[in-house]
Amino acid sequence: MKAVLYAIRTFGREIRSGEVVVLLAAVALAVAALTAVGFLTDRIGRAVERQANEVLAADLRLRTPDPIPAAWHATASDHGLRSAETQTFPSVVFAGDFSSLATIKGVTEGYPLRGNVRIASQLFGEQRVAEGVPASGTIWADGALMARLDVAVGDRVSIGEAEMVIDAVLMYRPDQSIGFASLAPSLVINALDLPATALINEGSRVSYALLVAGDTNAVDDFYEEIEVLLPESVRSRNREEGSDRASNAADRAQRFLSLTAVISLLLSAVAIAMSARRFAHRRMDTVALMKSLGASQQFVISAAFVQLVLLGILGVLLGSVMGFVVEALVTNMLADVIQGDLPPAGFTPVFLACGSALILLIGFALPSLLQLRDTPPLRVLRHDEMPPAPSRLLVVGTSLLAVAVMLYQAIGDGLMLLIVLGGMLVVSAVLYVAGRGLVILMGRSRGGVGIAWRYGLANVARRGRDSAIQVVAFGLGLTVLLLLTFVRTDLLEEWQQTLDANAPNHFLINIQPQERSSIEAIFAANGVAVPNFVPMVRARMKTINGADVKEREYPEEGGKWMANREQNLTWATHISESNELVDGEWWPADYVGDPLVSLEEDAARELGVELGDRLSFIIAGREIEAKVASTRKVNWDSFQPNFFLVMSPGSLDNYPSTFISGARIAEEGKRTLVELVRSHPTVSVIDIDAILVQITGILDKVSLAVQAVFVFTLAAGIAVLFAAVQSTIDERRFESAMLRALGVRRRTVLSGVLTEFVALGFAAGLLAAAGASILAAIVTIQLFELDYAFNPLLWLAGLLGGIALVCVSGFIAARGAINAPPVDVLRAA
């Protein structure tokens, strides 16, 4: 208790000392950076998740064959959630002498809860965002349906017993299928008009859906409460189970943002470690005096620990305020660029940042405090008397434990943690060995140069271990800054290139074999590139290695759904450009023999299927069996027609098939589509431009977020450089005073210091460039599954940036020591 009271009484005086100000600044900057990064990753991450939820038109969708009970809406309202309802069923729509099968979708007010419906005033005309739902007595009709009925906007159609006016062309709705599951064109109608159609009666095949949206926690609470009441016929879906393309983009976005948070965390750890080392070293004289006056080791360590905690609390408070201010400024900056409001900030990033900073502070300061505890009283008389250093295993173990706990709390991504932390450890070891080598080299090669160079190079050699530690600190700071720069530029550009500028923006489905030639002629006549036609056969899987798919057990939950869903089969002579062979062999182009099948790798894993296994399918009442010949990795982001299962050529020749195609059609070529749907009314055209805009919007948000976060990470990196310089500032002050007292000019002393920093910066920059290049390759391939492209500018930036940053930060931090009057320094010594 005495130690606590002593620490509190003396804290006010200690806080004014220079080394405590440096440590306080390091902690505050760590918290500010982590808080700002946390706010951005949290808020923009939730914005990205909301945008990904557009594929469901909600945050949660409950689909059932029975009418939605009013109690479900009431429960959603009790949780503060918005809700809407849809009713979907097939029916025939009439217009004069024409008729067509259509998918009727009745919607209530509020639909869609996420995303927007887009409509147009004419076929393939300029799109606009729909406001609300169709007015009573009107509908929004798919362009293919209008072509089949030969009607235009303003015409009347019959739906059941009701007549409706076509108010607009339905161009896009967020929950429309692009998986070719629904071949009939659709129309959207106000749910209040459905009773007038008299189409929904007892025994009618209707799919009802409850859409729910709101705060994530509230949605989870709602589902937890209602799940026990749901019959087995209800199928629930959230964003994680939604569109692969949007989910992949959102997941990659979260990883990008998490990577920036990890890098900021590592920089903060290095800055605190360097500052804490000096914090303990500067207290050795005070501890020696206290011990000579009878203070016990427990009293000394307790007082120092309490002061360290108080320092951490103060740094946390200052950093939190800075983080709030910075977050507000950046949010205002991004609000002008990002469409839509960002979700409100939560306090989770604050708690995480504060807890992380305190763990960092204690984790990296504990080894120094243990050394402080063992300070001998003799140091009162002999300032060179140093306490024994704790074992390196303890130092490394404590630091690693602190960093590992925080990183896992920050990202919860074991693979990223292993790659980044493991990479930093390897880089640190290499930097330390290189630093030791630099010390030896400078000790042997400083002759034959001017006095400033000899002084600077002698400083590197004389400090030995301290110089090596500075190389580690400088190198780590530069490594992570270069790595983040690479992520912000080359890696992000590579990711955006996965959305090919020539990727299809329209899908044509339900093309009959006899229609191919006339469709090709329409494209050619209008000067549009003729697309490739891919065959498709509808099938259901029956057995896997002779076992019924309904009774078989699967290694993953998705396997049962994959086996029992309706399958889209195709055949091909060559593997698609958007596919990559993972295992097995692709069949020859002229293959003739028993049917073979190639599976997408995730589907094979979920089904528990390996090479050589046999799968059987039911197609049009007939059974076909195929042997698994290979597995493939599919780039779903390519927006090419891709399949989970691809058969060998000739396997499906005797089965009924249709064709699908993906085409890139510019705005001026939309008349091609009008001609196509009018001459081929059974062909459905799906416009996915809006989905491409959705994915691109996610990438744009991530790009802005990463660039904003880079500013704070850069500040944390500069803090590392300052902390590294500050670790030897006392020696520099004394050396400068001695040299100037002996007549050496201030300019010469300054040149010598800059020479030292040039040597340290060159070594750190060279190794940082190498480390950043290797880590960037691993991160690109392992975390983001993209192709790595070597960037020579990274090495140039490492060398020049290392020298420039280290010299500038060193000059700013050390100029006070150089400018200090020699007489003041020598008297204090």
Tell me, letter by letter, the H, E, C secondary structure of 466-518: HHHHHHHHHHHHHHHHHHHHHHHHHHHHHHHCCCCCCCCCEEEEEECHHHHHH
| 287 vs 269: CA distance, rounded Å | 26
pLDDT at 591: 93
| 247 vs 243: CA distance, rounded Å | 6
- For tokens 């028993």, what's the residue? 594
- CA contacts within 13 A on the Cβ side of 532: 11
Q: Which of 350, 343, 310, 348 is nearest to 326 (CA)?
A: 350
| DSSP classification of residue 344 | P
Q: Kindly tell me the sign of the dihedral angle through the C-alpha atoms of 240, 244, 250, 254.
A: positive
Is 640 within 8 Å of 578 (Cβ atoms)?
yes
pTM for this prediction: 0.64
Supply φ then ψ for residue 254, to 5 degrees: -60, -35
Q: 713-745: per-residue pLDDT in tens?
A: 667 677 776 777 766 676 777 777 777 777 777
Q: What is the block-wise mean pLDDT of the chain (829 residues), using blocks of 10 residues?
A: 73 67 73 72 65 78 91 93 94 89 93 90 84 94 85 94 94 68 77 93 85 89 89 73 50 69 73 73 72 75 79 84 75 55 63 74 71 67 56 60 68 76 84 82 62 67 74 82 72 61 78 90 87 90 94 86 87 90 94 94 93 94 94 82 92 90 80 81 73 64 63 69 70 72 74 80 86 84 75 84 80 70 58
Q: How far apart are the first and last CA of the chain?
A: 34
Q: 617-662: per-residue pLDDT in tens?
A: 999 889 999 999 999 998 876 777 889 999 999 999 889 889 998 8
Is 342 within 8 Å of 44 (Cβ atoms)?
yes
| DSSP classification of residue 342 | P
367, 397, 757 from 393: Cα distances, Å = 10, 6, 30
Name the β-bridge partners of 99.
Answer: 94
Name the β-bridge partners of 169.
Answer: 120, 141
Q: Which helix (H) or strand (E) holds 394?
A: helix 392-411
Six-digit token string for 452:
């400033």
Is 174 within 8 Å of 54 (Cβ atoms)?
yes
